[in-house]
Amino acid sequence: MKRRKIFAVTAVGAAAALMISACSSSSGSSSTGGTNNTTTGTVAFNAGITGVVNASSHKGGTLIYDDSSTPDSFDPGNTYYAWVLNFDRLFVMPLYTFKSCPGTCGEQLVPDLATDMGTVSSDGLTWTFHIQSGIKYEDGTVVTAKDVKYGIERTYDRSVAANGPTYYQALLTDPKYPGPYKDKSPTGLTAIDTPNATTLVMHLQAPFPDLPDVLAFPSSAPVPQAKDTGSNYQLHPVSTGPYMFKSYTLNKQLTLVPNPNWSAATDPNAKQLASQIIVNLNVNQADIDNRLLHGDIQVDAAGTGLAAAARAQVLANPTDKANSDNPVNGFARFIYINTKVAPLNNIHCREAIEYAANKVTMQTAWGGPIAGGQIGSTVMPPNIMGYKSFDYYNALSQPNGDMTNAKQQLQACGQPNGFSTSLAYRSDRPTEVAAVTALQASLQTAGIKVTLKGFPSGSYYTDFAGAPAYVHSHDLGLAAGGWGADWPDGFGFLDSLVAGNTIVATGNTNIAEENNPVVNNLFTQSSKVTGAARTAIWSQIDEQVMKDAVILPMVYQKVLLFRPTNLTNVYVQAYYGMYNYAVMGVSS
Amino acid sequence: MIYFIIRRLILTVFLLLLVSAITFAIFFLVPRLAGQTAYQLAAQYVGRNPTPDAIRAVEIKLGLNDPLYLQYGRFIKGIIFGVHYNNGPDVSYCPFPCFGYSFRNQEPVWPQLISDAPVTLSLAIGASVLWLIGGVSIGVLSALRRGSFFDRLSMGIALAGVSLPVFFTGLMALELFSYKWSLFPNVHYVGITSNPVQWARNLVLPWVTLAFLYAALYARLTRAGMLETMGEDYIRTARAKGLPERVVIVKHGLRAALTPIVTIFGLDLGLLLGGAILTESTFSFPGLGQFTILAIQNQDLPEIMGVVMIAAFFIVVANMIVDILYAVVDPRVRF
Amino acid sequence: MAVPIDVATGPGGPEPDAPLSIPGKAIEGRSLGQIAWLRLRRDKVAMGGGVVVLLLILTAIIGPHLVQNPNVFNSNLIDPTFLRPKGAFGGISLAHPLGVEPETGRDLLARIVVGAQYSLLIAFLATCLAVIIGTFFGVVAGYFGGWIDSLIARAMDVFLAFPLLVFALALAGVIPNSAFGLSGNSLRIAVLIFVIGFFNWPYMGRIIRGQTLSLREREFVDAARSLGARAPYILFRELLPNLVAPILVYATLLIPTNILFEAALDYLGVGLYVPTPSWGQMLASAVQNQFYSIDPEFMIIPGVTIFITVLAFNLFGDGLRDALDPKTR
């Protein structure tokens, strides 16, 4: 073909120019890396979801991560990215963490720096926690309860640390505490007391059974006040985990080395194996995939899986396929259907959309059943505690769309020939673009004319889809959205999406503006009960929300992860939906 | 000549001020005209589910709710006199030239620019040397061997180079030479000080990619220019005088043909950052190009201002040099 | 596959036109335009390019009415695991002569044809804008010199000092969804035309200024001045005709550059709104989503289309230049 010949000629020209540097290839790497050190666990497709692959206690070697962008921050009190939450456990010990084991075992919350699951007073407002004694920082000083309190206090000054979760302000008493940089008093945050060096007492505004889940964020890791450098702390956080910072060039590279003052006995959920961990930032996704498949690096840090080309290669090659896993990653993709924008304020028009949408084309747009995900019929994905499967709009039985029912609902809402509305989406996310395009095409066949409006993802929630005033004035009846729970139970998943009291003027995530008293009551009830009764409430909320037709589920996202053969102790940790970064090592 | 240079230098300072003002207007003013409030802008620098207090705190910290002329004044003052930044427990200071602190990661912008600059400079200088030498020599040879196989072949390739997007060429180069044939496995940037051989080796593909596009242009232009001048009367005179052919070609023919080349080179320096943006993102090189894309995506205004000012500075200086060369090459041009 | 460019300049080119001697008719002189047309007609390669350009323009105008809807998803033609079209060569069949897109199954021929409309429209209008502004300022600056020249040259410097792509990116990204009475895609197109054309005018301006500077010192300008001609006459009757050649040449060189520029903007995510097809967007999608390795046709077909278009413009422009060059009379 014409094209190939030109490139052949170009190749000749380029080769001539290369005589200068014509040395033979350095690493001589072919497809899947070095020798296979399998001691336990068969190497097969999806073996990493249910068991540990390549279990090994081999120490040494350099473990390399590549990331296609940058973390929001490596300061443990200032991050909200899923992979960073996973990765932080290599250099900090939060109070609680998720158990390091494969399968549903990994959904369990267990004490990390803490000694037990904490005791709560009878009115539910006071929690007492104890931390292990004798835990040391990287410089040998001992961790005290005051350090844990300080670590939490410093997240209150939003002008310095703006990225992290905001649960402390919402849950603890003394929400107006301005942070330790502005408030120099010795008591500091009155919501937390430290009666002795290993005890913390926390006071809540209202009962909240999931408090230990909130303390699983790395913001509960101890920070020595004397070493706190504010917005520069991200350059070298003081380590309590198996590794510590050796060097960090912003936007480029992080190097970690083993922390000599960490003891494995105090931290069974992390391992200290590799003698060096390197994270390369801002690497092109195509490069990451190639380096991964060649064994030049071991992990794609973001955990969002291989892109299309590498996926096709891996799935077509049986050896490569056996070295990959396809887990559900806890993210659900859906469309918000706004209850305030006409004519969607009529429930039948909303139901028409639920019936008419072609779920298969949307799934294909997201990447098909392997890389896109499972077609959804509920708000919560299957890996959330309390998930129950139901299907009100025949999403599973008629995934190509149910036009009969759609037409009926259009009649019922007084728009027999369809109607027009606009759909907001993030224009810099190619898969989201493809998915909403598919939706537009399928709704068109029912006579529903959708105008697509793209916005940059940086300001999507703050200025556009998440600003109800903008939504109303621009007729944005539909909006693309996605959600991953902050912890794997229904509260973490549903509260910000459908609770009436979470609607705000900017940064709104209850974009459908669902404010149903039935749902709101169920949420209030959930803070009053525990155990199985509480878990049952989540599916009730889910069912009511689906009956209200305010969310059109698209997929429960799945990703295709590849594990090079020289990566050890590899398995998927259920909550993060990616490999457990706290325990991996490298062989050879 | 000296007078000319001094005049241009003074003009350069004014020019950069003008550029900074226009940049500021585009990135700060236009969103405001489009309805974005300071509150909404600040909300981009907080995490998921922020509280209104958090957003307001960021708004005040970054000075976003001040009137625009005040923010601009602060920015210019910061460049010259440095900026004091409250990072929490204490106050840090960044000296001249200080383009402020990144909105996103709250670290000073200038050191980030400095650490990225060598990558882009390596890419730009290497590629421009390659395309100048390659393009001009191929153009000259083609002109002299007009109609031969070499002429047709090289002009054909030149056309191909001009017709393909640089991100496409780069990707093809990567696919063939790095992924498939492993001539350049694992292309990533290596600093010249840490390992000069690896530095050159990893830069070959990006150099060739970037240079391929421009060399094609220059080859065509040189060829056209040479053909024109070689037909002039004074060439015949020079030959009749008995001068060796090489002298005729280079001293008389090429010199006259170089005028448009010099013009275009000056213009192309301005486009170089654009080419660098695309090339760097294709090869994952951590240079100013990539920095720019991220800064724009994050609407990180200090970073955007920093990179635009640096790029503008280099372009203006380069254009000044080109103007001087213009006068040297074409004796008919007077100031 | 080198395409020969038969440049008809210098010694050894085709013979100058011999006057036709038709018995009974007097010998007539020819105008510049007629001579140029005759010479152009003789240049086969350039005419080839011109024919292709005409065909493309024709396709862009009437093609969209003849092909199927470019936005219809045909998921049944896609293999869900690999997301590539079923069938060889990207799903080529009678119903889909150029195959279908991966992942969505949209007809490729339809998208290419409708894309021609957008890509050519934007490139043409942007080029016109750049040419008009650039020529005007270039000629004025080059001819009058002095402080006018300084001012305009400095203005050009300012524009040239802006990293072009950066500003195009920023501006295209920052313009809201509706302004100035337009909205959605029409606004986007207007913004793209404005950004590409407006930031390109110094490119033309500098070249024209340089050419004017050189021409200003030529003998015929002196002659005209000594005959009492004033500035407007010299500008329009003496300089401009001599500038037509470089204007045309660089304009034809600029059109394909603008097509590629628009492709780059698509690659960086600020091009036309989905699902509007444009060649740049298809190429960008093939590159960024890495469809090229699972369905090479999806990248090759838009790539070859862009390539042929650009080639045709370049060949035609070259031929035009040779035909119009007064020196090779």
CA count, 13 A, side-chain hemisphere, A230: 18
So where are chain A's domains? 10-104+242-327+560-586, 106-233, 328-558
Domains A10-104+242-327+560-586 and A106-233 share a fold: yes
Q: Which of A45, A366, A437 is most worth mutating to test chain C (most C CB atoms within 10 A of its CB)?
A: A437
* pLDDT averaged over every residue in chain C: 76
State whether residue B204 sits within 8 Å of chain A by CB: yes
At residue C12, the pLDDT reads 41
For the record, the structure tokens of B5 come out as: 């240079």
Helix (H, G, I), strand (E, B) or coil at C81: coil
Report CB contact under 8 Å: C291, A442: no
Q: Chain C: residue nearest A370 by CA?
A: C81
For the record, the structure tokens of C181 come out as: 């009475």
Q: How far is A325 from chain B (nearest CA, A)?
A: 23
Instruction: Considering only CA atoms, give the Rg of chain A.
Output: 25
Token look-up 């060598």 returns: B118
Long-range contacts of B86-92 (CB under 8 A, 24+ apart): B86/A159, B86/A181, B86/B61, B87/A160, B87/A229, B87/A230, B87/A231, B87/A232, B88/A154, B88/A157, B88/A160, B88/A181, B88/A228, B88/A229, B88/A230, B88/A231, B88/A233, B89/A180, B89/A181, B89/A228, B89/A229, B89/A230, B90/A230, B92/A232
Among the ranges given (A26-30, A261-265, C91-95, C176-180), the one the predictor scored with the smallest mean pLDDT = A26-30
Q: Say what angle helices B149-163 and B196-230 make with each other, to 10 degrees.
A: 120
Q: Chain C: residue nearest A451 by CA?
A: C184
Among the ranges given (A563-567, B201-205, C72-76, C114-118), the one the predictor scored with the smallest mean pLDDT = C72-76
At residue C181, the pLDDT reads 59
B104, B300 in Cβ contact below 8 A?
yes
Vertex A578, ends A577 and A584: CA angle to 5°? Answer: 140
Distance CA A233, CA A248 (A): 11
Does C184 have pLDDT greater than 70? no
What band does A129 get if pLDDT is binned at 50, 70 and 90? very high
Report CB contact under 8 Å: B259, C214: yes
More confident residue, B16 or C33: B16
Spell out the SS3 assignment of C249-299. Answer: HHHHHHHHHHHHHHHHHHHCCCCCCCCCCCHHHHHHHHHHCCHHHHCHHHH
Token look-up 């292309």 returns: B187
Count how many pairs of residues, chain A against chain B, have C-beta atoms within 8 Å: 177
Distance CA A582, CA A98 (A): 11
Report CB contact under 8 Å: C274, A3: no
For the record, the structure tokens of B172 come out as: 């093809």
At residue B159, the pLDDT reads 76
> Any alpha helices (H) in A222-307, and if so which ranges?
285-294
For the record, the structure tokens of C225 come out as: 């001045």
Average pLDDT over residues A267-277: 95
Sign of the dihedral defined by the CA atoms of residues A141, A147, A148, A152, in that order: negative
For the record, the structure tokens of A310 come out as: 């590498």
What is the DSSP annotation of A374-420?
EEPSSSS-TTSBT-----TT-TTTSTT--HHHHHHHHHHTT-TT--E
Average pLDDT over residues A109-131: 93
More confident residue, A177 or C3: A177
Average pLDDT over residues C233-257: 78
For the record, the structure tokens of A434 come out as: 């493809």
First-to-final CA distance of chain A = 43
Token look-up 């005018």 returns: C201
Class of domain A328-558: alpha beta
At residue C326, the pLDDT reads 54
Q: Which of A452, A457, A475 is most worth mutating to test chain C (most C CB atoms within 10 A of its CB)?
A: A452
Neighbours of B275 (CB within 10 A): 25
Give the right CATH number for A10-104+242-327+560-586 from 3.30.1330.40, 3.40.50.150, 3.40.190.10, 3.40.50.300: 3.40.190.10
Please choose, from the candidates A73, A220, A72, A235, the residue with its C-alpha nearest in 3D space to the C-alpha of residue A153.
A220
* Percent of chain C residues past pLDDT 70, beyond the cut: 80
Superfamily of domain A106-233: Periplasmic binding protein-like II (3.40.190.10)
Strand A192-196 relative to strand A126-130, pairing = unpaired
Report CB contact under 8 Å: A232, B58: no
At residue A11, the pLDDT reads 34
At residue A300, the pLDDT reads 95
What band does C102 get if pLDDT is binned at 50, 70 and 90? confident
* Percent of chain A residues past pLDDT 90, beyond the cut: 60
* pLDDT averaged over every residue in chain A: 87
Please choose, from the candidates C256, C290, A2, C115, the residue with its C-alpha nearest in 3D space to the C-alpha of residue B167.
C290
ipTM at complex level: 0.81
| Partners of residue A256 on adjacent β-strands | A245, A277
A384, A485 in Cβ contact below 8 A?
yes
Distance CA B86, CA C126 (A): 47
A508, A466 in Cβ contact below 8 A?
yes
Long-range contacts of A112-115 (CB under 8 A, 24+ apart): A112/A267, A112/A269, A113/A143, A113/A148, A113/A220, A113/A221, A113/A222, A113/A240, A114/A215
Instruction: Considering only CA atoms, give the Rg of chain B.
Output: 24
The dihedral over CA atoms of A186, A191, A196, A197, expressed in degrees to the nearest 10, equals: -80
B265, B318 in Cβ contact below 8 A?
no
Backbone angles phi, psi at A455, to 5 degrees: -135, 155
What band does C287 get if pLDDT is binned at 50, 70 and 90? confident
Does A157 have pLDDT greater than 60? yes
For the record, the structure tokens of A218 come out as: 């790395």
More confident residue, C143 or C11: C143
What is the DSSP annotation of A6-60?
HHHHHHHHHHHHGGGG-PPPSS---TT-S-----SS---TTHHHHS-BS------
Q: How far is A267 from chain B (nearest CA, A)?
A: 29
Distance CA B271, CA B254 (A): 25
Per-residue pLDDT reduced to its tens digit, A311-357 = 888 988 999 999 999 998 888 999 999 999 988 999 999 999 999 99
Distance CA C102, CA C291 (A): 7
Of the partner residues A3, A286, A454, the one whose CB lies closest to the CB of residue C274: A454
Distance CA B330, CA B254 (A): 11
Average pLDDT over residues A392-399: 91
What band does C247 get if pLDDT is binned at 50, 70 and 90? confident
What band does C179 get if pLDDT is binned at 50, 70 and 90? low
Backbone angles phi, psi at A278, to 5 degrees: -120, 135
Average pLDDT over residues A5-14: 33
Average pLDDT over residues A152-156: 93
Q: Which residues of B touch A238 (CB under 8 A)?
A: none
Instruction: Locate the DSSP E strands across A259-317.
Output: 276-280, 299-300
The structure's pTM equals 0.81
At residue A9, the pLDDT reads 34
Q: Which helix (H) or strand (E) holds C312?
A: helix C296-324
Q: How far is C59 from chain B (nearest CA, A)?
A: 20
At residue A145, the pLDDT reads 95
Amino acid at B209: T
- Residues of chain B scoring pLDDT < 70: 1, 34-35, 49, 267, 270-271, 273-274, 327, 329-335
Of the partner residues A166, A458, A504, the one whose CB lies closest to the CB of residue B44: A458
For the record, the structure tokens of B154 come out as: 């090289």
Q: Say what angle helices A347-356 and A403-412 make with each other, to 10 degrees.
A: 170
C287, C274 in Cβ contact below 8 A?
no
What residues have CB less than 8 Å from B22, skipping those under 6 apart?
A: C158, C162
Q: How far is B110 from chain A (nearest CA, A)?
A: 12
What residues have CB less than 8 Å from B67, skipping those under 6 apart?
A: none
Q: Report in angstroms the alpha-carbon separations of B175 from A290, B282, C110, C295.
A: 10, 11, 29, 15
Q: Which residues of A touch C307 (CB under 8 A)?
A: 3
At residue B35, the pLDDT reads 67
Distance CA A356, CA A365 (A): 17
> Which of the given ranges, A160-164, A224-228, A304-308, B200-204, has the highest pLDDT on average?
A224-228
Token look-up 């802006």 returns: C162
The dihedral over CA atoms of A111, A116, A122, A128, expressed in degrees to the nearest 10, equals: -90
Report CB contact under 8 Å: C210, B307: no
Spell out the SS3 assignment of A184-238. Answer: CCCCCCCCEEEEECCEEEEEECCCCCCHHHHCCCHHHCCCCHHHCCHHHHHHCCC
A393, A543 in Cβ contact below 8 A?
no
Does C175 have pLDDT greater than 70? no
